[in-house]
Structure 1
Amino acid sequence: MKLGRLNHIGVATPSIADSIAHYRDVMGASDITEPFDLPEQGVKVCFVNTPTHSGMDGTQIELIEPYDESSPINGFLAKNPAGGQHHVCFEVPDIAEARAEFEGMGKRVLGPTRIGAHGTPIFFVHPKDMQGMLTEIMETSKGDH
């Protein structure tokens, strides 16, 4: 498995509106997407785009708020009521190949491969198999290859 680009850091929040205000007013972020619902993932999402430097793409911060009471991040927020870093996401060129490699190494892939907030296939790897970090693996869009 070759490490791809860090695409984003997922931050669970009880309120996307409050988190947007924090990143805008405290951190000076000016490029923040409008929140949108991903009911199939159980979350509301928006992205804080960090600036590019020295020709390198900026990394995104993905703000995720529970969509409803069945959201998979409700458990995280119950343990961390103020929210916090939820996952990291790395890019791969071929999601099926990456999944097979992780499974071949005995890593626990959580659930089926599905379409993520960027509109490309994703899967998650259990934090106990990834040095304590829930890790999202995301296929780069075909235009990014």
Structure 2
Amino acid sequence: MLRIYSKNLLISMMCQKRLPHQTFKRYNNSNSSGSSWKILRLNHIAIASKTIEESSTLYKDKFRMETSDKHAQPDHGVNTMFVDCGNTKIELLDPITDCKSPIENFLDKNPTGGIHHLCFEVDNLDAACLDLRQRGLRLLSDRPKIGAHGKPVIFCHPKDCSGVLIELEQA
């Protein structure tokens, strides 16, 4: 059930058209300290695999999409490659062999790989971290690290996010 919900969520977020019956409520994101933040857009959907070279052939050769070069992210224990989707990106991930990679556990549970996380851009990452902690949401590190785009990022605990690993990135 969770996988079906997650895929439907991804599809609806990637679609630019809203169905006539959809209504959305805007919430005030001010926290008790007075600072505010908001999610600006879906930056990327990350897909983990044993090797980027293998998984990238689907996007390059079959779907004829443009990809970036492969880049090592030693602070995160992964290699990354981005696939341009027009209105967002797909981030392909594989573990760096000489590092303890957080996606190794994911690949042990999902040997063929799969959707690893969603990344949202936020307008004020520090305010988001403070506000989310005040609301009881666990973050996976004490402070943001520099991510694959050269910007600060932090991950939210999937147990607090309906089983989905969420990455927040400073816009």
| TM category, shorter | 0.7 to 0.9
**Aligned-pair CA distance for 1:70:** 1.1
Tell me the equivalent position of 1:55.
none
Aligned mates of 1:39, 1:12 — CA distance in 2: 16
Q: How does 1:30-41 map to 2 (within 5 A)?
A: 31-41=66-76
Aligned mates of 1:44, 1:35 — CA distance in 2: 7
Tell me the equivalent position of 1:143.
none
Aligned mates of 1:105, 1:89 — CA distance in 2: 20
2:145 match: secondary structure? strand
Tell me the equivalent position of 2:45.
9
Alignment equivalent of 1:106, drawn from 131, 136, 140: 136
Tell me the equivalent position of 2:91.
62
Alignment equivalent of 1:20, drawn from 34, 50, 56: 56
1:70 match: secondary structure? coil
2:130 match: secondary structure? helix
Tell me the equivalent position of 2:155.
124
Unaligned runs of 5+ in 1: 52-57, 141-145
2:44 match: secondary structure? strand
2:55 match: secondary structure? helix
**Range with bigger deviation, 1-10 or 12-21:** 1-10
2:108 match: secondary structure? helix
Aligned mates of 1:106, 1:116 — CA distance in 2: 24
Deviations along 1:89-133, one digit per CA (max 9) or x if unpaired, are: 001111111101110110000013100000000000011111110
| Partner amino acid, structure 2, of 1:60 | K
Q: Normalising to structure 1: TM-score of the pair?
A: 0.88
Tell me the equivalent position of 1:73.
103
Q: Normalising to structure 2: TM-score of the pair?
A: 0.75
Tell me the equivalent position of 1:43.
78
2:90 match: secondary structure? strand
Aligned mates of 2:63, 2:134 — CA distance in 1: 41
Aligned mates of 2:165, 2:130 — CA distance in 1: 18
**Aligned-pair CA distance for 1:59:** 0.5
**Aligned-pair CA distance for 1:26:** 1.9
Aligned length: 133
Deviations along 1:39-87, one digit per CA (max 9) or x if unpaired, are: 1110000100112xxxxxx210000100125111000000001100000
1:110 match: secondary structure? coil
